[in-house]
Amino acid sequence: MEVPEKENQEVKRRFQLWVMPSTLELADQYYRSDNCASRSEFIEKAIQFYAGYVSSQQNQDYLACVIPATVKGIVDESSNRMGRLMFKMAVELAVIENILAAVCEVDQQELKRLRGQCVEEIKRTNGMISFEQALQWQKE
């Protein structure tokens, strides 16, 4: 016997269901508290709920594989970009160093002392030093 359902015009079909008596008692016990009109409606809702649960488990398994791969791709691309930028910065720094070396007359002893002072200053400022700070430091 087929009865059209009001909500979505899908036709319900009757079929035989084999369950344990204790399971049937559970359905009888809870279908009214779930605002179901019948035991059949309760069982149908239970099947839909369980299907959603199984689907969410499959989605979790899928996401557990996809998310780390996606994050790794983002991190790898970011690392590559940072490496290229650091290379460009190193080239520009080498150009500036060579220009300064050609213009300035600093002996090896003075350069060694300055390098040691710079290392200490960079450690103290945690790598954050501006040109203004360097200029002020040189004038002291």
Structural domain span for residue 110: 106-140
8 Å CB contact between 11 and 5: yes
Q: Are residues 50 and 93 in the same domain?
A: yes
CA 57, distance to chain mean position in Å, is 20
Total domain count for the chain? 2
pLDDT tens, residue by residue, 56-65: 888 888 788 8
The per-residue pLDDT for 79 is 96
Q: Are residues 114 and 82 in the same domain?
A: no
Residue type, 36: C
Alpha carbon distance 78, 69 (integer Å): 14
Alpha carbon distance 134, 22 (integer Å): 82
Quote the mean pLDDT of the chain: 88
Q: What percent of the chain has pLDDT over 90?
A: 49
Q: Are residues 110 and 94 in the same domain?
A: no
Q: Are residues 97 and 118 in the same domain?
A: no
Q: Are residues 39 and 70 in the same domain?
A: yes
Overall average pLDDT of the 44-70 stretch:
87
Q: Are residues 13 and 73 in the same domain?
A: yes
Q: Are residues 83 and 18 in the same domain?
A: yes
8 Å CB contact between 39 and 31: yes
